[in-house]
Amino acid sequence: MNRRRIIALLPVLALCGVVLSGCGFRPLYGKHSDAPGLAAELATVAVAPMPDRSGQLLRNAIEQRLERAGAGQAKVYTLVIDLVETGGSLGLGKDATSSRSSLALTTTFELRRDGKVLFSGASAYTAAYNMLEEQYATIISERDSRDRAVNQIADDITRRLAVFLGNRPGS
């Protein structure tokens, strides 16, 4: 960018800052957050145990994200997640064998306190991988797809919990 363009963009950037601050925008994390206790409040969420390997991976991923700033906090909320994993063939080779497969993870979740549902939602992610002649390579490819899907869902659920807890009265 040349100097003229940068100078021309300065008023636009300043206007964006004014507009965002006027509409109630506030960062969830960081030094300038209106809710400095948000990270500590996220650490008060316990994730209920989940069956199957994908459930265990998802539970661990969410717990890691929630515990960033408050390991050892007393748990006040419980996050209950229902996970459904499905897969299917996407591509067929000339010999009618699968050449590509998909892995879909679909979740519904509820944030509870004292048995009462405070917040609920759903999240889904689909990942695809190649079915290779080498069986080991296919297993690794499927595992990588599962890891990607689990991490995307964990990020989504954690973000949504942060927005919900950050917008509660008293936060």
Residue 10, domain member (yes or no): yes
> Which residues constitute the domain of residue 114?
36-166
pLDDT tens for 39-89 read 788 888 999 999 999 999 999 999 999 887 566 778 889 999 999 999 877
pLDDT tens for 85-121 read 998 777 666 666 667 888 999 999 999 999 899 999 9
User: Vertex 128, ends 125 and 133: CA angle to 5°?
Assistant: 155
Residue 96, domain member (yes or no): yes
Q: Which DSSP string corresponds to 114-146?
A: TTEEEEEEEEEEEEEEE--SSHHHHHHHHHHHH
Q: Are residues 58 and 131 in the same domain?
A: yes
The pair of structure tokens assigned to 29 is 């994390």
Q: Are residues 102 and 127 in the same domain?
A: yes
pLDDT tens for 132-145 read 788 888 889 889 99
Q: What is the pTM of this model?
A: 0.74
Q: Are residues 140 and 85 in the same domain?
A: yes
Q: Are residues 29 and 41 in the same domain?
A: no
Residue 143, domain member (yes or no): yes
Q: Is 62 in contact with 85 (CB distance < 8 Å)?
A: no
Number of domains in the chain: 2
Residue 171, domain member (yes or no): no
Q: Are residues 24 and 87 in the same domain?
A: no
Q: Are residues 140 and 80 in the same domain?
A: yes
In angstroms, rounded to a whole number, what is the distance separating the alpha carbons of residues 38 and 148? 26
What separation, in Å, do the N-terminal and C-terminal C-alpha atoms of the chain show?
A: 42
Which one is predicted more confidently, 112 or 23?
A: 112
Q: Are residues 40 and 111 in the same domain?
A: yes
